[in-house]
């Protein structure tokens, strides 16, 4: 069998200022494309020759042109952007699905401008998420850690505050421990809950000068509070973010959803594979998604491991855990088929999905190692007054 001859395709770029940005420091961007697409890239000045099988070479040319188009529009490229464009090639260059995805990825009308930086979507799903934030009064961002759900939500809220489109920024999280019992925490209310809200502070400080954040918090323009303090309030002309919403109960979720007042928007983020509620407690996020999905004015964006923009190892870790979840899920299904009348831990016999949450929103901890001798899942933290011992 004769081997098909290699294709050689030359591509030239006409702006010498942008060529170093395309190649990357020490040609790291070109090396990344070579390794992932199985081609060779020979660069000379502002020209790259792509060498490889015809299909792979055509796809690599499209990747290079897409990245170049992004640079011409004033956008940035890095490892995350390169990986995203390469993944878009799975349908093949020239396919309608690929063309639509590439066009959406290189848009310049969905940028987030803050006082410290210009933020661009780094994956197609992030672009869809920013669209949802701008078009819907209530948006859900679901998916694994490292996909930018919280960061983009905070950055978009900051941009609305700067433009004067909202008067307040309200950020909240349920104060739930992640797998370990911390006990009573010392200090006043702020000192007790700050450890749970630290990721929200990090996103604020990345988009606004520290002195501006401090001033806005003193004037209650920016408010960061645990979920328990939302009851009874009406939030008007505000941008509200509820983070880690998978750790809300159904009643907490219903409470926070009904806080919206006139001129307000809300974003709810969470990862249904990382529920830290006590065993058998229904997740308010799973409940809300099942009830509100498809409702007018509500957007729901699902991220996957392909959208992870942290260290590339994080994406592989997420995929490994998802594979393990599938294996456990298949094992439970097989046991139920063998003994359909058995009840496992008193939970419904319906086959559980990969994320460990039953269709009714119950947390399943049967195959998840528990913390502590009692084997109990993490419970909401108790906020106590350290001066008089009251809870």
pLDDT tier for residue 113 given thresholds of 50, 70 and 90: confident
Helix boundaries (H) for the chain: 19-23, 28-37, 54-72, 79-88, 96-105, 124-135, 149-163, 189-207, 210-218, 250-257, 284-292, 312-338
User: Rounded to whole angstroms, how far apart are CA atoms 260 and 255?
Assistant: 10
Does residue 335 surpass a pLDDT of 90? no
Mean pLDDT of 89-99: 70
Long-range own/partner contacts, residues 322-330 (CB < 8 A, 24 or more apart)? 322/273, 322/354, 325/273, 325/354, 325/355, 325/356, 326/354, 328/367, 329/353, 329/354
pLDDT tier for residue 182 given thresholds of 50, 70 and 90: very low
Length of the chain, please?
391
User: Rounded to whole angstroms, how far apart are CA atoms 304 and 130?
Assistant: 16
> Ranked by mean pLDDT, which of 189-198, 230-239, 319-328, 355-364 comes out on top?
230-239
**Alpha-carbon distance values, 170 to 225, 240, 258 (Å):** 8, 5, 15
Does residue 180 surpass a pLDDT of 50? no
**Strand-strand pairing, 265-270 and 118-119:** unpaired
Q: What pLDDT does 175 receive?
A: 72
Beta strands in 132-208 (DSSP E): 138-142, 168-173
Q: What pLDDT does 30 receive?
A: 96
Tell me which of 12-21, 64-73, 123-132, 335-344 is least confident.
335-344
Q: What pLDDT does 145 receive?
A: 85
In tens, the pLDDT along 243-293 reads 999 999 999 999 999 999 999 999 999 999 888 888 888 999 999 999 999
User: Rounded to whole angstroms, how far apart are CA atoms 284 and 354?
Assistant: 18
Mean pLDDT of 35-58: 93
Residue 192 and residue 383 in contact, taking contact as beta carbons nearer than 8 Å:
yes
Lookup: tokens for 291: 């009830």
pLDDT tier for residue 191 given thresholds of 50, 70 and 90: low
Q: What is the pTM of this model?
A: 0.71
């Amino acid at each position: 069998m004769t081997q098909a001859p290699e294709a050689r395709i030359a591509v030239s770029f006409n702006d010498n200022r942008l060529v170093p940005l395309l190649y990357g420091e020490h040609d790291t961007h070109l090396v990344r494309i070579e390794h992932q697409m199985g081609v060779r890239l020979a660069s000379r000045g502002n020209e790259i020759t792509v060498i490889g099988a015809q299909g792979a070479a055509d796809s690599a040319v499209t990747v290079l042109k897409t990245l170049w188009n992004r640079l011409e529009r004033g956008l940035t490229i890095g490892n995350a952007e390169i990986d995203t464009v390469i993944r878009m090639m799975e349908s093949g260059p020239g396919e309608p699905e690929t063309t639509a995805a590439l066009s959406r990825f290189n848009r310049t009308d969905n940028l987030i401008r803050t006082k410290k930086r210009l933020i661009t979507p780094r994956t197609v799903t992030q672009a869809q998420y920013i669209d949802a934030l701008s078009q819907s009064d209530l948006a859900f961002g679901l998916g694994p850690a490292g996909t930018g759900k919280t960061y983009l939500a905070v950055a978009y809220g900051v941009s609305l505050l700067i433009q004067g489109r909202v008067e307040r920024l309200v950020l909240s999280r349920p104060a739930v421990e992640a797998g370990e019992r911390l006990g009573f925490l010392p200090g006043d209310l702020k000192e007790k809950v700050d450890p749970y809200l630290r990721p929200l502070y990090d996103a604020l400080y990345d988009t606004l000068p520290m002195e501006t954040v401090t001033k806005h918090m003193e004037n209650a323009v920016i408010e960061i509070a645990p979920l328990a303090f939302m009851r009874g309030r009406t939030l008007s002309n505000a941008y509200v973010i509820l983070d880690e919403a998978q750790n809300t109960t159904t009643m907490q979720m219903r409470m926070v959803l009904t806080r919206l007042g006139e001129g307000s928007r809300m974003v709810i983020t969470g990862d249904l594979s990382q529920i830290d509620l006590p065993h058998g407690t229904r997740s308010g996020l799973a409940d809300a998604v099942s009830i509100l999905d498809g409702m007018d004015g509500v957007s729901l964006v699902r991220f996957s491991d392909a959208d992870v923009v942290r260290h590339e190892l994080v994406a592989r870790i997420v995929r490994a855990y998802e594979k393990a979840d599938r294996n456990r899920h298949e094992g439970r299904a097989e046991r139920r088929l063998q003994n359909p009348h058995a009840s496992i831990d008193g939970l419904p016999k319906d086959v559980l999905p990969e994320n460990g949450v039953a269709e009714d929103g119950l947390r399943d901890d049967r195959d998840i190692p528990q913390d502590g001798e009692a084997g109990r899942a993490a419970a909401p933290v108790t906020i106590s007054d350290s001066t008089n011992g009251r809870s």
